Chain A
Amino acid sequence: MSQRRVAITGLGLVSPYGGDLTDFFARLTAGESAIRHQRIDDQPRALSIPFVSCPAFDPDAALGNPLVAMMDRFAQLGMAAAFAAWDDAGLTRSADGESRDCWGVSWGTALGSTLTHEKVYRDLWQKGRDRLSPLTVVLGMNNAANAHISIQLGLGGVSMSHTVACASSAIAIGEAFRRVRGGEAPVMLTGGSDVPQAYGVARAWEALRVMACADADTAASACRPFAADRRGLVLGEGGAALVLEDWDHAVARGAPIHGEIVGYGTSCDHSHLVRPEVAGQIRALNATLTDAGLSAADIDYISAHGTATAEGDPVEIAAIRTVFGERAEALPVSATKSMHGHLLGAAGAIEAIATVLALREQAIPPTTNLTPDTLDPACSGVDHVFTGRRGVSLRTALSNSFAFGGSNAVLAFRAVPR
């Protein structure tokens, strides 16, 4: 069967900076951190962590009260991002003539409605409430975001969510890509959303000892991927969405084309739940290059998974060095998690958007909080982007997502000449 080219015609997110896509990418390229200090007051003790939230997000304004009341915050962020991407693609909210029976949604979330579940347990066991709202099941189900998106946009094709920890939305995007490329769906809405600020969730990450510590003065620089003084990841909430569209379909309706998605590869380390392995990541990188019909020499930028954990960063650089060989030294690599934090199930989506914008704008966002002096020697061997670069020539780029559980996913994107 002939394969379809896949255009990216819509991008949308709930930005932690509060602005639009242009503002988001300008701030990323300027190296501006959205990380702030957050105190979660709860029993038995308050939790004080660096965190990325979306304080400007007004669910009622974005979605309207009737919809908001039916949704956990993870679905609210997802729906808002989906609406933004849909509008960006120039598509109408309701079908306007053309059947959408084959159009679908492929969403990613690691935690789903954890905030709702936490509230339920609190009501039952802490407050002694005897009864729960009849909306608890529909608020709490993990496929709530994709279900709402399908309903609101009138999409009659597949509606599904992927839960693969930190690779959830990268895999959601990749699976959506395959459906459009294979001719099953002319349009797929994809992306991810997550809200890791539930008290129990944040405490669980704290217990794993992989979260950076910071106070109000040091929060902005708390996440330092590839730096010798890195202290761990910073969690964040958010939602990010992309519209993937059959190239001919997009051209026929005169849609804006931000970029092209050209490859997707996956692998599993199959060795350890949380310790990443070079061999598994190499297989995912190579699978993606093969899927895209690209060679290592074609890649001009890698958006790294780069969480700033002690174990993860050197493994990722080692995998890149193996796959790209001598070219690695000159291959720009950056980790935008240093600025927008780790959005867990939405990480792959927000980083896919950053990568597509890098190709479109011919600019590379940096790993902020990293300098030549602080670079960990164990993470050297690639062209680390210490400050944002503009006016560069980028043809193709990769976005890495390497999850707990050993699941690896890599997406490949190509610039579209403007």
Chain B
Amino acid sequence: MKSIELIRNFLATRQGIETAKVVPEAVLTDLGVDSLMMLELVFEFEDQLDIKLPHDLKSPKTVGEMVALMDGLITSQKG
């Protein structure tokens, strides 16, 4: 699964947010992602994509930043 699809699926199920609104330039807090929900998203990435996020992870601001971060981790950890 692509990183952006995971974010879209999560926000659709969890918050009822239309997929069309989850675009790279969208700001995560504008989509209702607060600090607690960010942890949930991180948990979903770790769980579904079998990657490990570092503890000192800097929270991404936009959907695009999160996708880039996750894609980088997937590449480095899973080759």
Q: Which residues of A contact B (CB under 8 A)?
A: 64-66, 69, 131, 133-135, 138
Contact = CB atoms under 8 A, between A and B. Distances in A.
B45 to A, nearest CB: 12
Interface of B: 13-16, 32, 36, 39-40, 42-43, 46-47
What 9 pairs across the A-B complex have the smallest Cβ distances?
A134-B39, A66-B15, A134-B43, A134-B40, A69-B14, A133-B43, A65-B16, A66-B14, A135-B40
Given A65-B16, A66-B32, A134-B39, 7 more contacts: A65-B15, A66-B14, A66-B15, A69-B14, A131-B46, A135-B36, A135-B40
A66 B15 CA distance: 5
7 contacts: A65-B13, A66-B14, A66-B32, A69-B14, A131-B47, A133-B43, A134-B39
A39 to B, nearest CB: 30
A134 B36 contact: yes
A69 B16 CA distance: 12
A66 B16 CA distance: 8
Contacts of A65: 13-16
Contacts of A134: 36, 39-40, 42-43
B66 to A, nearest CB: 16
A138 B43 contact: no
Contact of A138 (B13, B32, B36, B42): B36
A131 B14 CA distance: 20
Contacts of A131: 43, 46-47
Nearest to B16: A65
Nearest to A129: B47
A227 B46 CA distance: 57
A268 B21 CA distance: 58
Contacts of B40: 133-135
B20 to A, nearest CB: 19
A69 B41 CA distance: 14
B33 to A, nearest CB: 12
A64 B17 CA distance: 13
Contacts of A133: 40, 43
A70 to B, nearest CB: 8
Nearest to A133: B43
Most chain B CB neighbours (cut-off 10 Å) among A66, A131, A134: A134
A134 B40 CA distance: 6
A133 B14 CA distance: 14
B77 to A, nearest CB: 16
A365 B63 CA distance: 58
A64 B42 CA distance: 23
Nearest to B42: A134
Nearest to B32: A66
Contacts of B39: 134
A64 to B, nearest CB: 8
A138 B39 CA distance: 13
Contacts of B46: 131
A11 to B, nearest CB: 30
Contacts of A69: 14
A65 to B, nearest CB: 6
A370 B16 CA distance: 50
Nearest to A65: B16
B21 to A, nearest CB: 15
A138 B40 CA distance: 12
Contacts of B42: 134
Nearest to A134: B39
A135 B43 CA distance: 10
Contacts of B47: 131
A135 B39 CA distance: 8
A346 B14 CA distance: 29
A221 B64 CA distance: 61
Nearest to B13: A65
A133 B46 CA distance: 11
B49 to A, nearest CB: 13
A138 B37 CA distance: 12
A66 B39 CA distance: 15
A292 to B, nearest CB: 44
